[in-house]
Chain A
Amino acid sequence: MATITERLSKNEILLADGAMGTQLFARGLEAGACPELWNTENPEALSDIARTYADAGADIVFTNTFGGSSIRLGHYNLSKRTSELNRAGVKTARAAISDDIFIAASIGPSGGMLEPLGELSEDELRISFTEQISAVIEAGADMIAIETMTDISEATIAVQAARQLSPSIPISATMTFDKTVNGFFTIMGVSVKQAVDELSNAGADILGSNCGNGIELMIEIAKEFKSVTDLPLLIQANAGLPETEDGKLVYRETPAMLAAGAGRLIENSVSIIGGCCGTTPAHISAMRQKIDHLK
Protein backbone atom coordinates (compact mmCIF):
# COMPACT_ATOMS: atom_id res chain seq x y z
CA MET A 1 0.00 0.00 0.00
CA ALA A 2 1.30 3.43 -0.93
CA THR A 3 2.33 5.65 1.98
CA ILE A 4 1.25 9.26 2.50
CA THR A 5 4.62 10.42 1.22
CA GLU A 6 4.35 8.30 -1.93
CA ARG A 7 0.84 9.50 -2.67
CA LEU A 8 1.81 13.13 -2.14
CA SER A 9 4.83 12.71 -4.41
CA LYS A 10 2.43 11.62 -7.16
CA ASN A 11 0.64 14.96 -6.69
CA GLU A 12 -2.41 13.29 -5.26
CA ILE A 13 -4.78 15.44 -3.21
CA LEU A 14 -5.56 13.86 0.16
CA LEU A 15 -8.62 14.65 2.24
CA ALA A 16 -8.29 14.91 6.01
CA ASP A 17 -11.28 14.72 8.34
CA GLY A 18 -13.22 17.42 10.22
CA ALA A 19 -13.70 18.62 13.78
CA MET A 20 -13.29 16.23 16.70
CA GLY A 21 -14.57 18.29 19.66
CA THR A 22 -18.11 18.81 18.38
CA GLN A 23 -18.34 15.10 17.55
CA LEU A 24 -17.30 14.19 21.10
CA PHE A 25 -19.78 16.57 22.70
CA ALA A 26 -22.52 15.29 20.40
CA ARG A 27 -21.85 11.84 21.84
CA GLY A 28 -22.10 13.06 25.40
CA LEU A 29 -18.65 14.22 26.49
CA GLU A 30 -19.15 16.47 29.50
CA ALA A 31 -17.84 20.01 29.55
CA GLY A 32 -14.58 20.16 31.44
CA ALA A 33 -13.89 16.45 31.10
CA CYS A 34 -10.62 15.30 29.58
CA PRO A 35 -11.41 14.35 25.94
CA GLU A 36 -8.48 11.93 25.70
CA LEU A 37 -9.84 9.90 28.59
CA TRP A 38 -12.53 8.64 26.23
CA ASN A 39 -9.86 6.76 24.29
CA THR A 40 -10.01 4.14 27.02
CA GLU A 41 -13.36 4.88 28.68
CA ASN A 42 -15.56 5.24 25.63
CA PRO A 43 -13.66 3.74 22.71
CA GLU A 44 -16.94 2.96 20.91
CA ALA A 45 -17.58 6.69 20.54
CA LEU A 46 -14.10 7.22 19.09
CA SER A 47 -14.48 4.31 16.69
CA ASP A 48 -17.80 5.72 15.62
CA ILE A 49 -16.31 9.17 14.92
CA ALA A 50 -13.45 7.66 12.91
CA ARG A 51 -15.90 5.56 10.91
CA THR A 52 -18.20 8.53 10.29
CA TYR A 53 -15.36 10.55 8.78
CA ALA A 54 -14.04 7.57 6.84
CA ASP A 55 -17.53 7.04 5.43
CA ALA A 56 -17.65 10.73 4.49
CA GLY A 57 -14.62 10.08 2.31
CA ALA A 58 -11.61 11.14 4.37
CA ASP A 59 -8.25 9.68 3.33
CA ILE A 60 -6.71 10.65 6.64
CA VAL A 61 -8.45 10.33 10.00
CA PHE A 62 -7.09 12.28 12.97
CA THR A 63 -6.86 10.75 16.43
CA ASN A 64 -8.37 12.08 19.64
CA THR A 65 -4.96 12.93 21.08
CA PHE A 66 -4.83 16.71 20.59
CA GLY A 67 -4.42 17.32 24.32
CA GLY A 68 -2.42 14.16 24.91
CA SER A 69 0.95 15.65 25.80
CA SER A 70 1.87 14.75 29.34
CA ILE A 71 1.91 18.42 30.35
CA ARG A 72 -1.62 19.01 29.08
CA LEU A 73 -2.92 15.76 30.57
CA GLY A 74 -1.46 17.07 33.81
CA HIS A 75 -4.37 19.56 33.97
CA TYR A 76 -6.50 16.51 34.74
CA ASN A 77 -3.88 14.70 36.83
CA LEU A 78 -3.54 12.16 34.03
CA SER A 79 0.14 12.64 33.09
CA LYS A 80 0.95 9.14 34.23
CA ARG A 81 -1.45 7.74 31.66
CA THR A 82 0.10 9.60 28.71
CA SER A 83 1.34 6.50 26.87
CA GLU A 84 -1.78 4.49 27.50
CA LEU A 85 -4.24 7.20 26.40
CA ASN A 86 -2.27 8.07 23.27
CA ARG A 87 -1.82 4.45 22.23
CA ALA A 88 -5.53 3.87 22.73
CA GLY A 89 -6.30 6.97 20.65
CA VAL A 90 -4.48 5.49 17.66
CA LYS A 91 -5.75 1.96 18.16
CA THR A 92 -9.44 2.80 18.47
CA ALA A 93 -9.29 4.78 15.23
CA ARG A 94 -7.19 2.15 13.46
CA ALA A 95 -9.50 -0.70 14.40
CA ALA A 96 -12.58 1.18 13.20
CA ILE A 97 -11.56 1.95 9.63
CA SER A 98 -10.12 0.14 6.64
CA ASP A 99 -6.38 -0.18 6.16
CA ASP A 100 -6.20 2.10 3.15
CA ILE A 101 -7.16 5.11 5.30
CA PHE A 102 -4.29 6.79 7.10
CA ILE A 103 -4.20 7.62 10.79
CA ALA A 104 -2.73 11.00 11.69
CA ALA A 105 -1.89 11.41 15.35
CA SER A 106 -3.01 14.84 16.50
CA ILE A 107 -0.44 16.64 18.65
CA GLY A 108 -1.70 19.96 20.06
CA PRO A 109 -0.03 22.62 22.21
CA SER A 110 0.97 21.83 25.79
CA GLY A 111 -1.21 24.64 27.11
CA GLY A 112 1.75 26.21 28.91
CA MET A 113 4.26 28.83 27.86
CA LEU A 114 7.99 28.51 27.59
CA GLU A 115 10.35 30.48 29.81
CA PRO A 116 10.87 33.35 30.30
CA LEU A 117 7.24 34.25 29.54
CA GLY A 118 5.86 31.12 31.15
CA GLU A 119 7.22 28.45 33.44
CA LEU A 120 8.01 25.61 31.05
CA SER A 121 11.59 24.76 30.18
CA GLU A 122 12.45 23.50 26.71
CA ASP A 123 13.49 20.17 28.23
CA GLU A 124 10.17 19.68 30.00
CA LEU A 125 8.35 20.39 26.76
CA ARG A 126 10.58 18.03 24.79
CA ILE A 127 10.05 15.23 27.30
CA SER A 128 6.29 15.82 27.25
CA PHE A 129 6.03 15.63 23.44
CA THR A 130 8.48 12.72 23.21
CA GLU A 131 6.39 10.64 25.57
CA GLN A 132 3.22 11.34 23.60
CA ILE A 133 4.70 10.91 20.14
CA SER A 134 6.58 7.72 20.96
CA ALA A 135 3.27 6.21 22.11
CA VAL A 136 1.40 7.11 18.92
CA ILE A 137 4.22 5.88 16.70
CA GLU A 138 4.40 2.62 18.62
CA ALA A 139 0.64 2.22 18.21
CA GLY A 140 0.96 2.52 14.46
CA ALA A 141 0.19 6.13 13.49
CA ASP A 142 0.90 6.83 9.81
CA MET A 143 1.59 10.50 10.31
CA ILE A 144 2.34 12.93 13.13
CA ALA A 145 0.13 16.01 12.89
CA ILE A 146 1.47 18.81 15.08
CA GLU A 147 -1.29 21.40 15.01
CA THR A 148 -2.84 24.65 16.24
CA MET A 149 0.59 25.90 17.25
CA THR A 150 1.23 29.59 17.86
CA ASP A 151 4.70 29.54 19.42
CA ILE A 152 7.47 28.65 16.99
CA SER A 153 9.74 27.30 19.75
CA GLU A 154 7.07 24.91 20.98
CA ALA A 155 6.19 23.78 17.46
CA THR A 156 9.86 23.26 16.65
CA ILE A 157 10.42 21.21 19.79
CA ALA A 158 7.44 19.00 18.87
CA VAL A 159 8.70 18.48 15.32
CA GLN A 160 12.22 17.70 16.53
CA ALA A 161 10.88 15.24 19.08
CA ALA A 162 8.92 13.42 16.37
CA ARG A 163 11.84 13.41 13.93
CA GLN A 164 14.18 12.14 16.62
CA LEU A 165 11.83 9.20 17.23
CA SER A 166 11.40 8.29 13.58
CA PRO A 167 13.55 9.29 10.62
CA SER A 168 10.83 8.42 8.13
CA ILE A 169 7.35 9.09 9.52
CA PRO A 170 5.59 11.99 7.73
CA ILE A 171 5.34 14.99 10.05
CA SER A 172 2.95 17.85 9.43
CA ALA A 173 3.23 21.06 11.39
CA THR A 174 0.43 23.61 11.17
CA MET A 175 0.03 26.90 12.97
CA THR A 176 -2.91 29.22 13.61
CA PHE A 177 -2.56 32.67 12.06
CA ASP A 178 -4.30 36.04 12.36
CA LYS A 179 -4.46 38.49 9.52
CA THR A 180 -2.59 41.73 10.23
CA VAL A 181 -1.75 44.75 8.11
CA ASN A 182 1.69 43.22 7.54
CA GLY A 183 0.50 39.76 6.52
CA PHE A 184 -0.34 36.71 8.59
CA PHE A 185 1.15 36.19 12.05
CA THR A 186 0.34 33.88 14.94
CA ILE A 187 -0.66 35.56 18.20
CA MET A 188 2.92 34.90 19.33
CA GLY A 189 4.22 36.89 16.36
CA VAL A 190 5.33 34.08 14.02
CA SER A 191 5.14 34.89 10.30
CA VAL A 192 4.43 32.32 7.61
CA LYS A 193 8.02 32.65 6.40
CA GLN A 194 9.42 32.03 9.88
CA ALA A 195 7.14 29.02 10.31
CA VAL A 196 8.37 27.60 7.00
CA ASP A 197 12.04 28.20 7.74
CA GLU A 198 12.11 26.84 11.26
CA LEU A 199 9.68 23.94 10.94
CA SER A 200 11.15 22.58 7.71
CA ASN A 201 14.58 22.89 9.28
CA ALA A 202 13.37 20.92 12.31
CA GLY A 203 12.26 18.06 10.06
CA ALA A 204 8.62 18.69 9.10
CA ASP A 205 7.57 17.31 5.69
CA ILE A 206 4.19 19.00 5.42
CA LEU A 207 3.42 22.57 6.48
CA GLY A 208 0.37 24.74 6.68
CA SER A 209 -2.37 26.13 8.88
CA ASN A 210 -5.36 24.92 10.86
CA CYS A 211 -8.01 26.66 12.92
CA GLY A 212 -8.61 30.34 13.55
CA ASN A 213 -9.92 31.23 10.10
CA GLY A 214 -12.68 30.40 7.67
CA ILE A 215 -12.00 29.23 4.17
CA GLU A 216 -11.43 32.63 2.51
CA LEU A 217 -8.53 33.66 4.72
CA MET A 218 -7.11 30.14 4.56
CA ILE A 219 -6.80 30.55 0.79
CA GLU A 220 -4.76 33.71 1.39
CA ILE A 221 -2.63 31.86 3.94
CA ALA A 222 -2.03 29.02 1.47
CA LYS A 223 -0.85 31.54 -1.12
CA GLU A 224 1.56 33.06 1.36
CA PHE A 225 2.94 29.58 2.19
CA LYS A 226 3.26 28.71 -1.48
CA SER A 227 5.34 31.83 -2.09
CA VAL A 228 7.98 30.64 0.38
CA THR A 229 8.01 26.82 0.24
CA ASP A 230 7.71 23.87 -2.11
CA LEU A 231 6.82 21.42 0.66
CA PRO A 232 3.32 19.88 0.53
CA LEU A 233 0.73 22.06 2.27
CA LEU A 234 -1.99 21.04 4.73
CA ILE A 235 -4.92 23.41 5.28
CA GLN A 236 -7.81 22.81 7.70
CA ALA A 237 -10.21 25.76 7.84
CA ASN A 238 -12.92 26.32 10.39
CA ALA A 239 -16.46 26.42 9.05
CA GLY A 240 -16.20 30.19 9.50
CA LEU A 241 -15.87 31.87 12.86
CA PRO A 242 -18.32 30.85 15.55
CA GLU A 243 -21.40 32.95 16.25
CA THR A 244 -24.01 32.34 18.92
CA GLU A 245 -27.67 31.85 18.26
CA ASP A 246 -30.04 31.37 21.19
CA GLY A 247 -27.07 30.58 23.37
CA LYS A 248 -25.89 27.91 20.97
CA LEU A 249 -22.75 28.07 18.90
CA VAL A 250 -23.13 28.09 15.15
CA TYR A 251 -20.61 28.01 12.33
CA ARG A 252 -22.03 29.53 9.20
CA GLU A 253 -19.83 28.21 6.41
CA THR A 254 -21.77 25.45 4.69
CA PRO A 255 -20.43 22.22 3.16
CA ALA A 256 -20.90 23.80 -0.28
CA MET A 257 -18.81 26.83 0.72
CA LEU A 258 -15.99 24.66 2.04
CA ALA A 259 -16.14 22.47 -1.04
CA ALA A 260 -15.81 25.53 -3.28
CA GLY A 261 -12.95 26.71 -1.08
CA ALA A 262 -11.31 23.30 -1.36
CA GLY A 263 -11.26 23.74 -5.13
CA ARG A 264 -9.45 27.03 -4.73
CA LEU A 265 -7.00 25.56 -2.22
CA ILE A 266 -6.16 22.87 -4.77
CA GLU A 267 -5.63 25.56 -7.43
CA ASN A 268 -3.14 27.05 -5.00
CA SER A 269 -1.21 23.79 -4.72
CA VAL A 270 -2.51 22.64 -1.35
CA SER A 271 -2.03 18.86 -1.06
CA ILE A 272 -4.00 17.93 2.05
CA ILE A 273 -7.34 19.57 2.78
CA GLY A 274 -9.55 19.03 5.78
CA GLY A 275 -11.65 20.84 8.34
CA CYS A 276 -11.19 22.26 11.81
CA CYS A 277 -13.73 23.68 14.30
CA GLY A 278 -17.34 23.56 13.14
CA THR A 279 -16.76 21.21 10.22
CA THR A 280 -18.85 18.05 10.10
CA PRO A 281 -18.94 14.82 8.12
CA ALA A 282 -21.21 16.72 5.69
CA HIS A 283 -18.42 19.24 5.04
CA ILE A 284 -15.91 16.45 4.49
CA SER A 285 -18.28 14.63 2.18
CA ALA A 286 -18.80 17.80 0.09
CA MET A 287 -15.04 18.31 -0.14
CA ARG A 288 -14.65 14.65 -1.20
CA GLN A 289 -17.02 15.22 -4.10
CA LYS A 290 -15.15 18.37 -5.10
CA ILE A 291 -11.77 16.61 -5.06
CA ASP A 292 -13.10 13.66 -7.06
CA HIS A 293 -14.74 16.00 -9.52
CA LEU A 294 -11.42 17.77 -10.15
CA LYS A 295 -9.54 14.53 -10.83
Chain B
Amino acid sequence: MTNDILTQLTQVLQTGDATAVSDLTKLAIDQSIGTKIILDDGLIAGMNIVGERFKKHEIFLPDLLFSAKAFYAGLEHLKPLLLKEKIASPGKVVIGTVQGDQHDIGKNLVGIMLEGAGFEVVDLGKDVSPEQFVDAAVETNADVIGMSALLTTTMPVMKKVIDLATERKIKDQFKYIVGGAPLSDKFAKEIGADAYCFDTVSAVECVKGFVKGK
Protein backbone atom coordinates (compact mmCIF):
# COMPACT_ATOMS: atom_id res chain seq x y z
CA MET B 1 0.00 0.00 0.00
CA THR B 2 2.78 2.39 1.02
CA ASN B 3 4.68 1.60 -2.13
CA ASP B 4 1.55 2.03 -4.22
CA ILE B 5 0.95 5.58 -3.01
CA LEU B 6 4.59 6.56 -3.44
CA THR B 7 4.79 5.02 -6.90
CA GLN B 8 1.61 6.81 -7.87
CA LEU B 9 3.05 10.00 -6.48
CA THR B 10 6.13 9.75 -8.70
CA GLN B 11 3.88 9.04 -11.66
CA VAL B 12 1.45 11.93 -11.22
CA LEU B 13 4.41 14.19 -10.54
CA GLN B 14 5.71 13.33 -14.00
CA THR B 15 2.40 14.27 -15.60
CA GLY B 16 2.55 17.64 -13.84
CA ASP B 17 -0.84 17.21 -12.18
CA ALA B 18 -0.48 19.52 -9.16
CA THR B 19 -3.90 18.67 -7.71
CA ALA B 20 -3.21 14.95 -7.82
CA VAL B 21 0.24 15.40 -6.27
CA SER B 22 -1.27 17.56 -3.53
CA ASP B 23 -4.02 15.01 -2.83
CA LEU B 24 -1.70 12.02 -2.85
CA THR B 25 0.78 13.76 -0.56
CA LYS B 26 -2.02 14.47 1.91
CA LEU B 27 -3.18 10.87 1.65
CA ALA B 28 0.33 9.63 2.28
CA ILE B 29 0.61 11.88 5.36
CA ASP B 30 -2.78 10.63 6.63
CA GLN B 31 -1.59 7.07 6.26
CA SER B 32 1.47 7.87 8.38
CA ILE B 33 3.91 6.78 5.72
CA GLY B 34 6.51 9.09 7.19
CA THR B 35 7.48 12.59 6.17
CA LYS B 36 11.01 11.78 5.09
CA ILE B 37 9.90 8.71 3.11
CA ILE B 38 7.19 10.66 1.29
CA LEU B 39 9.70 13.35 0.43
CA ASP B 40 12.54 11.05 -0.64
CA ASP B 41 10.73 8.17 -2.26
CA GLY B 42 7.77 10.14 -3.60
CA LEU B 43 8.44 13.75 -4.49
CA ILE B 44 12.22 13.70 -4.87
CA ALA B 45 12.22 10.35 -6.66
CA GLY B 46 9.64 11.75 -9.09
CA MET B 47 11.64 14.92 -9.76
CA ASN B 48 14.73 12.81 -10.34
CA ILE B 49 12.99 10.97 -13.15
CA VAL B 50 11.70 14.25 -14.57
CA GLY B 51 15.21 15.75 -14.49
CA GLU B 52 16.73 12.76 -16.24
CA ARG B 53 14.06 12.73 -18.94
CA PHE B 54 14.51 16.47 -19.52
CA LYS B 55 18.24 15.98 -19.83
CA LYS B 56 17.65 13.32 -22.50
CA HIS B 57 15.22 15.64 -24.37
CA GLU B 58 12.43 13.09 -23.83
CA ILE B 59 10.39 15.87 -22.25
CA PHE B 60 10.68 19.64 -22.62
CA LEU B 61 10.77 22.78 -20.52
CA PRO B 62 6.98 23.15 -20.13
CA ASP B 63 6.74 19.53 -18.87
CA LEU B 64 9.51 20.16 -16.39
CA LEU B 65 7.96 23.40 -15.15
CA PHE B 66 4.54 21.80 -14.70
CA SER B 67 6.17 18.95 -12.77
CA ALA B 68 7.99 21.50 -10.63
CA LYS B 69 4.70 23.23 -9.81
CA ALA B 70 3.25 19.86 -8.86
CA PHE B 71 6.32 19.12 -6.72
CA TYR B 72 5.85 22.37 -4.80
CA ALA B 73 2.15 21.59 -4.34
CA GLY B 74 3.18 18.39 -2.56
CA LEU B 75 6.08 19.96 -0.69
CA GLU B 76 3.75 22.57 0.84
CA HIS B 77 2.10 19.81 2.88
CA LEU B 78 5.42 18.36 3.99
CA LYS B 79 7.17 21.59 4.95
CA PRO B 80 5.44 22.10 8.33
CA LEU B 81 6.05 18.46 9.19
CA LEU B 82 9.70 18.66 8.20
CA LEU B 83 10.05 21.63 10.55
CA LYS B 84 8.11 19.99 13.38
CA GLU B 85 10.00 16.74 13.12
CA LYS B 86 13.25 18.70 12.81
CA ILE B 87 14.18 16.97 9.58
CA ALA B 88 16.94 19.14 8.19
CA SER B 89 17.54 19.57 4.50
CA PRO B 90 20.85 18.14 3.38
CA GLY B 91 22.09 21.66 2.65
CA LYS B 92 21.36 25.22 1.65
CA VAL B 93 22.27 26.85 -1.64
CA VAL B 94 22.14 30.53 -2.53
CA ILE B 95 21.63 30.95 -6.27
CA GLY B 96 21.38 33.85 -8.69
CA THR B 97 22.15 35.17 -12.16
CA VAL B 98 25.10 37.52 -11.86
CA GLN B 99 25.02 41.30 -12.11
CA GLY B 100 24.38 42.66 -15.59
CA ASP B 101 22.75 39.46 -16.78
CA GLN B 102 19.00 39.07 -17.20
CA HIS B 103 18.98 35.42 -18.29
CA ASP B 104 17.44 33.27 -15.60
CA ILE B 105 15.96 30.19 -17.24
CA GLY B 106 19.03 28.05 -16.51
CA LYS B 107 19.33 29.39 -12.97
CA ASN B 108 15.63 28.71 -12.34
CA LEU B 109 16.00 25.14 -13.57
CA VAL B 110 18.96 24.55 -11.28
CA GLY B 111 16.89 25.96 -8.40
CA ILE B 112 14.00 23.65 -9.22
CA MET B 113 16.22 20.58 -9.46
CA LEU B 114 18.07 21.42 -6.24
CA GLU B 115 14.76 21.77 -4.40
CA GLY B 116 13.63 18.66 -6.19
CA ALA B 117 16.60 16.90 -4.64
CA GLY B 118 15.63 18.13 -1.17
CA PHE B 119 17.99 21.09 -0.80
CA GLU B 120 16.94 24.44 0.56
CA VAL B 121 17.32 27.10 -2.11
CA VAL B 122 17.60 30.84 -1.60
CA ASP B 123 16.98 32.33 -5.04
CA LEU B 124 18.27 35.89 -5.33
CA GLY B 125 16.87 36.30 -8.84
CA LYS B 126 18.78 37.92 -11.69
CA ASP B 127 21.19 40.85 -11.94
CA VAL B 128 22.61 39.94 -8.50
CA SER B 129 25.62 41.91 -7.24
CA PRO B 130 28.65 40.31 -5.53
CA GLU B 131 27.60 41.96 -2.25
CA GLN B 132 24.11 40.46 -2.51
CA PHE B 133 25.51 36.98 -3.09
CA VAL B 134 27.94 37.11 -0.19
CA ASP B 135 25.58 38.87 2.22
CA ALA B 136 22.79 36.39 1.52
CA ALA B 137 25.11 33.43 1.94
CA VAL B 138 26.25 34.75 5.32
CA GLU B 139 22.75 35.66 6.50
CA THR B 140 21.22 32.34 5.56
CA ASN B 141 24.25 30.30 6.62
CA ALA B 142 24.40 28.71 3.18
CA ASP B 143 26.64 25.81 2.21
CA VAL B 144 26.98 26.64 -1.45
CA ILE B 145 26.82 29.74 -3.67
CA GLY B 146 25.58 28.98 -7.19
CA MET B 147 26.14 31.57 -9.91
CA SER B 148 24.75 31.64 -13.43
CA ALA B 149 25.65 33.72 -16.50
CA LEU B 150 24.69 33.50 -20.15
CA LEU B 151 26.74 36.45 -21.34
CA THR B 152 30.49 36.30 -21.77
CA THR B 153 30.60 39.87 -20.61
CA THR B 154 29.01 39.07 -17.24
CA MET B 155 31.09 35.98 -16.49
CA PRO B 156 33.80 38.07 -14.74
CA VAL B 157 31.25 38.99 -12.03
CA MET B 158 31.56 35.40 -10.80
CA LYS B 159 35.18 36.03 -9.95
CA LYS B 160 34.19 39.22 -8.12
CA VAL B 161 31.85 37.24 -5.87
CA ILE B 162 34.63 34.83 -4.91
CA ASP B 163 37.11 37.69 -4.51
CA LEU B 164 34.71 39.53 -2.24
CA ALA B 165 34.32 36.47 0.00
CA THR B 166 38.11 36.12 0.06
CA GLU B 167 38.47 39.79 0.98
CA ARG B 168 36.04 39.32 3.86
CA LYS B 169 38.01 36.23 4.91
CA ILE B 170 34.99 33.95 4.64
CA LYS B 171 35.73 32.26 1.34
CA ASP B 172 36.06 28.81 2.88
CA GLN B 173 32.68 28.97 4.58
CA PHE B 174 31.08 28.23 1.22
CA LYS B 175 31.55 26.17 -1.89
CA TYR B 176 31.12 27.92 -5.23
CA ILE B 177 29.48 26.44 -8.30
CA VAL B 178 29.08 28.18 -11.64
CA GLY B 179 27.06 27.42 -14.74
CA GLY B 180 25.84 28.89 -18.02
CA ALA B 181 26.31 28.34 -21.73
CA PRO B 182 29.66 30.11 -22.25
CA LEU B 183 31.37 28.64 -19.18
CA SER B 184 33.83 25.79 -18.87
CA ASP B 185 35.76 23.74 -16.33
CA LYS B 186 38.81 25.79 -17.11
CA PHE B 187 37.06 29.09 -16.46
CA ALA B 188 35.74 27.76 -13.13
CA LYS B 189 39.26 26.79 -12.07
CA GLU B 190 40.70 30.13 -13.18
CA ILE B 191 38.32 32.12 -11.00
CA GLY B 192 38.66 29.81 -7.99
CA ALA B 193 35.21 28.22 -8.15
CA ASP B 194 34.84 24.70 -6.79
CA ALA B 195 32.98 23.36 -9.79
CA TYR B 196 31.60 24.12 -13.19
CA CYS B 197 28.21 22.48 -13.67
CA PHE B 198 27.39 21.62 -17.25
CA ASP B 199 23.68 21.10 -16.60
CA THR B 200 21.06 20.89 -13.85
CA VAL B 201 21.79 17.26 -13.10
CA SER B 202 25.50 17.93 -12.64
CA ALA B 203 24.70 20.94 -10.43
CA VAL B 204 22.69 18.69 -8.13
CA GLU B 205 25.45 16.07 -8.12
CA CYS B 206 28.06 18.72 -7.23
CA VAL B 207 26.04 20.07 -4.34
CA LYS B 208 25.39 16.55 -3.06
CA GLY B 209 29.12 15.88 -3.17
CA PHE B 210 29.94 19.05 -1.25
CA VAL B 211 27.49 18.53 1.60
CA LYS B 212 28.50 14.90 1.94
CA GLY B 213 32.08 15.96 2.45
CA LYS B 214 31.16 18.36 5.23
- A185: B residues at CB distance < 8 A: 57, 60
Interface size bucket, A side?
A: 20 to 34
- Asked whether any CB of chain B lies closer than 8 Å to the CB of A27, the reply is no
| A180 near B57: Cβ-Cβ < 8 Å | yes
Known contacts A117-B66, A243-B184; is A249 also within 8 Å of B60 by CB? no
Please determine whether A32 and B65 come into contact, CB atoms closer than 8 angstroms: no
B209 interfacial contact with A, CB 8 Å: no
In chain A, what residue has the closest Cβ to B154?
A31
Which A residues are CB-close (under 8 A) to B152? 25, 242, 248-249
Residue A189 lies at the interface, judged by CB distance under 8 Å to chain B:
yes
Judged by a CB distance under 8 angstroms, whether A256 is at the interface is: no
Q: A2 in the interface, Cβ–Cβ < 8 Å? A: no
Binary per-residue interface labels of chain A (22-65) against chain B in the complex, 1 for a CB within 8 Å, 0 otherwise: 00010000111100000000000000000000000000000000
A32 near B154: Cβ-Cβ < 8 Å: yes
Q: A111 at the A/B interface (Cβ < 8 Å)? A: yes
- Whether A7 is near chain B, meaning CB under 8 Å from some CB there, is no
Determine the distance from Cα of A244 to Cα of B181 in the docked complex, in whole angstroms. Answer: 10
Closest B-chain residue to A24, C-beta based? B153
Indicate whether A95 reaches chain B with its CB closer than 8 angstroms.
no
Cα of A249 to Cα of B153 in the assembled complex, Å? 9
- Cβ of A187 under 8 Å from chain B: yes
Is B213 among interface residues, defined by CB-CB distance under 8 A? no
Majority DSSP secondary structure for residues of A touching B: loop
- 1/0 per position for A74-97, CB-CB distance to B under 8 A? 010000000000000000000000
CB-contacts of A109-139 with B (<8 A) = 111, 117
* Chain B residue contacts of A180, Cβ below 8 A: 56-58
Q: Is the CB of A32 within 8 A of B57?
A: no
Interface residues of A in 237-264 (CB under 8 A from B): 242-249
A181 contacts the other chain (Cβ, under 8 Å)? yes
Say whether B182 contacts A249, CB under 8 Å.
yes
A178 proximal to B (CB < 8 A): yes
Q: Are A178 and B57 in contact (CB under 8 A)?
A: yes
A247 adjacent to B153 (CB under 8 Å): no
Kindly state whether residue A165 has any CB partner on chain B within 8 Å: no
Contact of B184 with A244 in the complex, beta carbons under 8 Å? yes
Number of A-B contacts (CB under 8 A): 64
In whole angstroms, what is the CA distance A188 to B59 when docked? 9
Indicate if the CB atoms of B61 and A187 lie closer than 8 Å. yes
In the assembled complex, B187 has its CB within 8 A of some CB on chain A = yes
Q: How far is the CA of A75 from the CA of B191 in the complex (A)?
A: 28
Complex contacts, B155 vs chain A, CB 8 Å:
247
* Per-residue interface assignment for chain A, residues 159 to 184, with 1 indicating a CB less than 8 Å from any chain B CB and 0 otherwise: 00000000000000000001111100
Asked if residues A111 and B102 are in contact (CB atoms below 8 Å), the reply is yes
Tell me, in angstroms, the Cα distance from A187 to B127 when the chains sit together.
23
Distance in angstroms between the alpha carbons of A17 and B100 in the assembled complex = 27
Q: Which residue on chain A has the smallest CB distance to residue B149?
A: A31
CA distance A186 to B57 in the complex (A): 10
Which residue of B61, B62, B102, B182 is within 8 Å of A75 (Cβ)? B102
Q: Which residue of A lies closest to B127 (CB)?
A: A32
B186 contacts A by Cβ under 8 Å: yes
State the Cβ distance, B184 to closest chain A Cβ, in Å.
4
Q: Are B57 and A247 in contact (CB under 8 A)?
A: no
A247 to B152, CA, bound (A): 9
Complex Cα gap A75–B103 (Å):
11
| Docked-complex contact A187 and B187, CB < 8 angstroms | no
Cβ 8 A contact of A31, one of B61, B62, B100:
B100
For residue B182, which residues in chain A have a CB less than 8 angstroms away from its CB? Answer: 242, 244, 249
Say yes or no for B164: interface residue by CB 8 A criterion: no
B115 at the interface (CB under 8 A from A): no
Q: Contact mask B87-126 → A, CB, 8 Å, 1/0?
A: 0000000000001111000000000000000000000000
Closest Cβ of chain A to B154, distance in Å, is: 5
| Chain B residues within an 8 Å CB radius of A189 | 59-63
In the bound complex, CA of A44 to CA of B184 (Å): 35
- Are the C-beta atoms of A32 and B100 separated by less than 8 Å? yes
A223 to B63, CA, bound (A): 28
| Complex A-B: 22 CB contacts under 8 Å | A31-B100, A31-B151, A32-B99, A32-B101, A32-B127, A32-B153, A75-B102, A111-B102, A117-B62, A117-B66, A150-B61, A178-B57, A180-B57, A180-B58, A181-B57, A185-B57, A189-B60, A189-B63, A244-B184, A244-B186, A247-B155, A247-B187
**Chain B contact residues, CB within 8 Å of chain A:** 56-63, 65-66, 99-102, 127, 151-156, 181-184, 186-187, 190-191
Q: A243-B184, A244-B184 are in contact. List 18 more A-B contacts (CB 8 A).
A: A25-B152, A30-B153, A32-B99, A32-B101, A32-B154, A117-B65, A117-B66, A178-B57, A180-B58, A185-B60, A188-B60, A189-B60, A189-B61, A189-B62, A242-B181, A242-B182, A247-B155, A247-B156
